[in-house]
Amino acid sequence: MDHSDDMQQHSNDSMDDNQVSSSGGQSLGTFLQSLEDYTPTIPDAVTCYYAGTAGFESSDPRIIRLMSLAAQKFVSDVINDALQHCKMRGSGQPSKTKSKDRKYTLSMEDLVPALQEYGIVVKKPPYHT
């Protein structure tokens, strides 16, 4: 057996779905199976539509679900960062309610810096005051 045959055998062994594990210790096969059972916040039809407009097509529903999950994570991270900006901005103001009871409103004032952290520049239209 030469070196290339040894590499091919090693590659085949490591590609077995049940043997490859992610950093969390869960096997890849189990993760892919859980994607089939998972219902993402962003519907598959919406993900398919926007992926299609970007030129991406896939018939594998697990890929679509994975993209939906990634988009959901991105939106969640941006919203969380915007919430942190809102809390920091409001921390200097006196509050009549307890901090646990306080309700926050998502505003462009908080969303713009959160998006800038991810390289997305949002500009207000000239007619917006």
Please, what are the averages of pLDDT over each run of 10 residues along the chain (129 residues)?
A: 44 42 67 84 93 93 90 95 89 63 85 93 77
Structure-token pair, residue 81 = 């960062």
Cβ within 8 Å of residue 87, ≥6 positions away? 104
Tokens 């005051």 — which residue? Answer: 129
Q: What is the pLDDT of residue 43?
A: 92
Alpha carbons 82 and 108: distance in angstroms, whole number: 9
What is the pTM for the complete model shown? 0.67
Structure-token pair, residue 54 = 């970007």
Cβ within 8 Å of residue 13, ≥6 positions away? 19
Query: Using the 8-state DSSP alphabet, how is residue 21 labeled?
Result: B
